[in-house]
Structure 1
């Protein structure tokens, strides 16, 4: 199954995981990292709004130089009991994150921004992830592998971090960093993309 798009597509992210997921749609796109600092403050515990705003900022940063393209940006965060778990800055912080999430259910929220024709639209998707009870030996081994360091919450479900997970409730690809089913639905509704052969989106 492949799609066609009405304009060139740019993924405003350096994430290899997002690149891999977007490739599922079968159209060519280029990658232009946004390099936006993720230092925005969360207001009134609105974590979904926070993720959408960061995604919009990343999308806009690239769209400023690519106004005639479709630009897709995203930001993924991990939240538990009102605390935001960013990408760990050290092995020690990664260990703290994983110990705090051990045996608990947390939320993975991805905000997505889509730019075309001088307008950015955003949405967010939330998935619940439950960790197993993690012992120190497993946590330390995983942290020493280096895998946690570029991932929100200190783990990647598509890598060895899958060994930490007991169950998920929601979109697996959202936990990876890009909710591709929702994104596909969204940009088809906006009229930016259609199935090869001209099959239009039907809203049931």
Structure 2
């Protein structure tokens, strides 16, 4: 049993997929990148801060002290971090930037038990098709891009935008399962268990 410092239904589904029992816990942190912060450093810092905030919430509530898992995903194109779009125009800008190009999806995972904190980083290359304006407009009209880093979700309608990927599909969705299982093993948390 662990805590998941996320309300993401996608991360919950991925943990269930590998048979990990968990409780979800909402953790709010400031996700603003530092002025000259490399994307990999940023996503690792976000995962560490979410795990630490989740652990602090357990301490404050005097809850059971079981490992806390957190993750953060960002889309990177030309070394630029693409977070969640502010509005439809911002989503359109991001999708036009990704059209016909290769970008990276970085997902960092952090686990803490209060005495140690360990992290893993997954980096996946994703190639987008050339996106006609009409497809971009239809995709934005679906509403799916608005709460997704880089303005797309590979596990939803956004799958048709992707020509190929090299790396972790689950990492692009939001929780790289190989890295997650490796971290959980370090904390003696079993996977492949009935939930």
Aligned residue among 17, 36, 42 for 1:43: 36
The equivalent of 2:137 in structure 1 is: 140
The equivalent of 2:94 in structure 1 is: 97
Matched, 1:110 2:102: no
Displacement of 1:40 in angstroms is 3.0
Structure-2 separation of matches of 1:196 and 1:177:
19
Matched, 1:17 2:10: yes
Matches within 5 A, 1:1-204: 8-41=1-34, 43-44=36-37, 46-67=38-59, 68-188=65-185, 190-194=186-190
More helix by share: 2
Per the normalisation by structure 2, the TM-score is: 0.91
Deviates more, 1:125-134 or 1:179-188: 179-188
Displacement of 1:23 in angstroms is 0.8
Moved over 2 A (4+): 193-197
Structure-2 separation of matches of 1:40 and 1:119:
24
How large is the Cα RMSD of the aligned pairs? 1.6
Q: 1:21 to 1:71 in 2, by over 3 A?
A: same
Structure-2 separation of matches of 1:125 and 1:27:
20
Displacement of 1:196 in angstroms is 7.0
Q: 1:195 to 1:23 in 2, by over 3 A?
A: closer
Judge conservation of contact 1:148–1:154 (CA < 8 Å) in 2.
yes
Displacement of 1:194 in angstroms is 3.5
Per the normalisation by structure 1, the TM-score is: 0.87
Aligned with 1:79: secondary structure?
A: strand
Deviates more, 1:174-183 or 1:117-126: 117-126
Deviates more, 1:21-30 or 1:11-20: 21-30
Structure-2 separation of matches of 1:191 and 1:71:
10
Aligned residues: 188
Q: 1:57 to 1:117 in 2, by over 3 A?
A: closer
Unaligned runs of 5+ in 1: 1-7, 198-204
Unaligned runs of 5+ in 2: 60-64
Displacement of 1:34 in angstroms is 0.8
